[in-house]
Structure 1
Amino acid sequence: MEFTPACSVIAPRDVRYGHQDHSRQLLRKSRRGTLVRLHKARYVETGQWQNLDQGDRHLLAMKAVASAARECAPLFSRESAALLWRLPIGVLPETVQVNIPPGSGQRSHGLVRRRLFPCLEDGGDLIEGLSVTGKIQTAVELTISQSFPWAIAAMDRLLGDGAKVEEVRVAILRMPTRPGPRKPSMVLELASAQSMSVGESISRANINLAGLPAPSLQRCFLDGHGLIGFTDFYWEEFGLVGEFDGRMKYRKDEYLRGRDPAEVVIAEKEREDRLRALGLKVTRWTWETAISSEKLRAHLLQAGLRPVGSSQNRRSR
């Protein structure tokens, strides 16, 4: 996600109206609709606000909260911190997420959702001038607040970015009794650095929720002509290849690599034909199927996969 750099928070100290009350002047502008009030006399120009997406609006709200802080800088956490760490987020809350130390006496109010939560790793980080929980702690906290598929996606990204499983496990063990380490530990157990996209992570999580066998990831295939490529998912006992067909591969330059979308489609078709020539079945699904465990289960059962523990699955072993 790329943030819009031009937008800035307007505070009373940033305006000049002679000896007039700057706060009142800004409030009047917000009532007239030329400014949008964010938090405690912090505003943004309405035209700028309307052109921002949800992520940019949340970031600007975080900057407003930080600007209005009277004492120590707020420590942004969970989805707010994940936004800056570029971790996948399923649902971005309207409130800004802040962790507070024991005995601070601070409470949630208005735009700010405060939680008493210990530091799970050594110190925080500063990103875009904002203090955020460390990347490992942020991912661990996301496993609590986000749904299981999105928790898997965040943990996959964390491991893919180089975090060590043992480092994450240590952070999880530092968690308080409530909410406890159970869900984060389950997520870590299923997470994989081999996942290449959010769509693959969401798919794998929903395959698990659907009670289907876990696939091998990024399996390499060769034929008489050489390398065919790596597949997203492979179930060897069923001779089945699964591919998440995200639309980004037909739009983004990093996937197109100088080719037009039609060339990419043709290359994918040729690749699939070569896999089928090896005697493999190949099935594809899109985002609409990936995000639903029921739809993905039905899709994969139709493709020939069988649930964990089924008689056919046991015979294949």
Structure 2
Amino acid sequence: MDDAPDPRLAPLRHDGHLLPGHGPLLRAAPGAPTRARKALARLWAQGVLVRLGAGLYVPLAHWCALAPWDRYTLACAGYALLHPTARFTGTAAAHLHGLPLAQTPPEIRLRSPAPGHRARRPLAASAFSDLADTRGRRLPAPPAVRWTWNGVQAPADDGGELRRRRLASGGPEGEAPPPGPLPPVTVEAALSDGTLLGPVTVDALPTVQLALGSGPVFREAVVPLDGLRRRLPGPSAAWAERHADRLPTRAARERFERAWGFSDPRAESAGESLSRALIHELGFAAPHLQRTVFGRDGRAIGRTDFWWEEVDVVGEFDGIGKYDVDLHASAAERRQAITREKEREVALRRVCRDVARWTWADLREPAGLEAELVRAGVPRRS
């Protein structure tokens, strides 16, 4: 990514007319003269900026260079900057908490203030001006905003204080009302490189756990639950035990119990979690996770994502990371990373019967994953 500041923004920065502390988000500072806002609007009209809301912009080159998940974070932070009382829920809250997801959400989910209030609209009326330079590519549009009533909320945990007060005052234990919903929390939105974008208000993690874990798509529920188990193994297990009965229907509770029971902290990425869920859905035997493989000389070759002991087959999910040129300092470093990966596979094949490999494309179209596992001889569940 080209981080060189646009010279057309230099006068606004020099004069202190831009709001600081929000990364690449551009907005006139409080008290800035009208000409500062007009200058930003003029740069948008010239195709230099992307509009994320009324008076809120980001440089077009920066927007296009960001990874999809960082563009989503930036859009959420921009909306929160313009609407400080907004409360992010569902996949938006999970993303802002830093939990992995099966895919970058197509919408920003906001909690409606009351049941029955539902709406959807673009983040900005016109994100790109007619003069925006496409350079022969399709410009990545900002996500839409959707308000939805989410009745799933974890209860506030008072540690039994309410019950103790009732008993101390001589009241019967059964009269204590159920605890109210857990209030939202504020977290700092940040890009993958650590750039801080400002505070956002989100559902608390126990509420996110319930909402996503009880979702209708098993594979999409497993991914954030794996990440939550990995980050907070003790607290997340306690929340699941205490809060599952807060789900409104038996079907929701059963979905949550299935996904939570299947979740595993040893899955180290969204791709591994999604792979694991799809392997299960496709009917294959459950693999061992993160097994260290040793060469014939006794030296460790490395940890494998998956291993089927009964057929001595290794499974490897190839994420974009080691092949992504932006994650390496130079083309030479990228070539070295690819060479190391190929040498690792050769070493694995010397000590294992076969190595099955798949990519994000195979997870988006699971028939590809299924064909690769069948080719390698991975058994189905009996």
User: What TM-score do you get using the length of structure 2 for normalisation?
Assistant: 0.63
Alpha-carbon spacing, 1:132–1:241, altered in 2? closer, same or farther (3 Å): same
Matched, 1:120 2:154: yes
SS in 2 for 1:238: coil
Quote the sequence identity (%): 28
For the pair 1:181 / 2:246, whether they are aligned, the reply is no
Give SS of 1:193's match.
coil
Instruction: State the Cα distance separating 1:76 from its structure 2 match.
Output: 1.0
Residue 271 of structure 1 is matched in structure 2 by 347
| Residue type at the aligned position of 1:289 | D
Distance 1:49 1:203, change over 3 A: closer
Q: Which residue does the alignment assign to 1:155? A: 225
Residue aligning to 1:131? 201
Q: Distance in 2 between matches of 1:80 and 1:15?
A: 32
Kindly tell me: are residues 26 and 267 of structure 1, through their superposed partners in 2, closer, same or farther at Cα, counting changes over 3 Å? closer
Unmatched segments (≥5 aa) in structure 2: 1-20, 124-144, 156-181, 189-198
CA offsets per residue over residues 262-300 of structure 1, 9 Å max, x none?
A: 551354045314423xxx433333333344332222221
- The residue aligned with 2:142 is none
1:61 aligned onto 2:94: no
Distance 2:216 2:249 in 1: 19
Contact 2:222 2:277 in 1 (8 A): yes
The one-letter amino acid of 2:185's match is D
**Structure 2 counterpart of 1:77, one-letter code:** T
Matched, 1:7 2:41: no
Task: Assess, with a 3 A threshold, how the Cα gap between structure 1 residues 33 and 263 changes in structure 2: closer, same or farther.
Answer: closer
CA offsets per residue over residues 6-53 of structure 1, 9 Å max, x none? 3225369564228xxx999987876676665434x3421553555555
Aligned mates of 1:50, 1:244 — CA distance in 2: 27
1:89/1:150 contact within 8 Å kept: yes
Question: What is the match of residue 44 of structure 1?
Answer: 57
Deviation at 1:213, TM superposition (A): 1.2
Give 5+ residue unaligned stretches, structure 1.
310-317
1:234 maps to which residue?
Answer: 307
Q: What corresponds to 1:84 in structure 2? A: 96
Q: Does 1:197 align with 2:269?
A: yes
Within 5 Å, which residues of 2 pair with 1:252-291? Answer: 260-261=336-337, 263-265=339-341, 267-276=343-352, 280-291=353-364
Distance 1:146 1:42, change over 3 A: farther
Deviates more, 1:4-13 or 1:113-122: 4-13
Give 1:207 deviation, angstroms.
Answer: 0.9
Q: CA RMSD in A?
A: 3.8
SS at match of 2:381: coil
TM-score, structure 1 length as denominator?
0.74
2-structure distance, mates of 1:52, 1:270? 34
Give 2:371's aligned residue. Answer: 298
Higher relative contact order (CA 8 A, sep 6+): 2
Between the two proteins, the alignment pairs up a number of residues equal to: 293
Partners of 1:57 and 1:282 in 2: CA distance = 35
Q: Flag the 1:28–1:144 CA change in 2: closer, same or farther, 3 A.
A: farther
